[in-house]
Each structure stands twice: as structure tokens, then as C-alpha cells.
Amino acid sequence: MNQSMKEHVTVNEWVALFREIGLDDATMMKWHKLFETRHPKAHQGFLEWLGLPSPEIEKIRAQSRT
């Protein structure tokens, strides 16, 4: 597929964007925690949009609640 026609951002591309702006693993987890706390349904939807499998989504969301 032509990159200009791509409609979906992969997890790796999303992480690369975060890294490019200087986020490390701890900061990304903080972002997930804030997202989960403030907008849990939107966080779920975002993770689904990324195409993550359900077990991975639940793992991220559970870690975000601790």
C-alpha cells in the first residue's frame, strides 16, 4: 500500500512519534495512566484503533490503573 494512502497508524509508528518528541518508557506510561484515569472508554477505543489484541489492551489498561 502506498504510504500516502495509509489510513492507520501502527503501534510501532505511534511509539516512534512519542520517542521522537522525547518520551521515554516512564513518560509513556504516565501518558497511559492519565488517559485511563481521565477517559477510560476513549483509552480503550484508542488501543483498539491501534489494532492491539484484546489481551494486550487489558494488560496496558491494568498497568495504567496501578
Model confidence pLDDT, tens digit, residues 18-34: 999 999 999 999 999 99
**How is residue 9 written as a grid cell?**
497508524
Task: Flag residues of the chain having pLDDT under 70.
Answer: 1-6
Query: What's the angle, vertex CA 24, arms to CA 11 and CA 53, rounded to 5?
Result: 25
Q: What is the DSSP string of 4-39?
A: GG-----HHHHHHHHHHTT--HHHHHHHHHHHHHH-
Contact 44, 32 (CB under 8 A): no
CB atoms within 10 A of CB 47: 22
CB atoms within 10 A of CB 34: 12
pTM over 0.95: no
